[in-house]
Amino acid sequence: MKFPKQKSDDIGNYVDQYFSSVTLAAKGVQRSMIKKAADLLMAIYKAEKFVWVCGNGGSSAIANHLVCDHIKGIRSNTKLKPRVVSLVNNLETITAVSNDISYDEIFVFQLESLAQRGDLLITISSSGDSENVVKAFEWARNNGLYTITFTGFSGGRTQKHADANIHVDAENYGVVEDVHQCLMHILAQFIRMRELSADEVGKLLF
Instruction: Classify residue 130: in a domain, yes or no.
Output: yes
pLDDT in tens, 39-72: 999 999 999 999 999 999 999 999 999 999 999 9
Instruction: Classify residue 202: in a domain, yes or no.
Output: no
Instruction: Classify residue 81: in a domain, yes or no.
Output: yes
Split into its structural domains, the chain has a count of 1
Task: List alpha helices for the chain, DSSP H.
Answer: 11-27, 31-46, 58-68, 74-75, 91-100, 108-114, 131-142, 173-194, 198-203
pLDDT of residue 185: 98
Query: Average pLDDT, stretch 156-185?
Result: 97
Report yes or no: 195 and 78 within 8 Å, Cβ to Cβ. yes
At residue 139 the predicted structure's pLDDT band, cuts being 50, 70 and 90, is: very high
Instruction: Classify residue 98: in a domain, yes or no.
Output: yes
Q: How many CB atoms lie within 10 A of CB 191?
A: 21
* CB environment 2-11: b (16+ within 10 A), e (fewer): ebeeeeeeee
Report yes or no: 111 and 121 within 8 Å, Cβ to Cβ. yes
How far is Cα of residue 112 from the mean position of the Cα atoms in its chain? Answer: 20
* 104 CB-side CA count, 13 A: 6
Query: Average pLDDT, stretch 110-121?
Result: 98
Instruction: Classify residue 90: in a domain, yes or no.
Output: yes
Instruction: Classify residue 118: in a domain, yes or no.
Output: yes
pLDDT of residue 123: 98
CATH for 174: 3.40.50.10490
Domain that holds residue 25: 11-195
Instruction: Classify residue 4: in a domain, yes or no.
Output: no
Instruction: Classify residue 23: in a domain, yes or no.
Output: yes
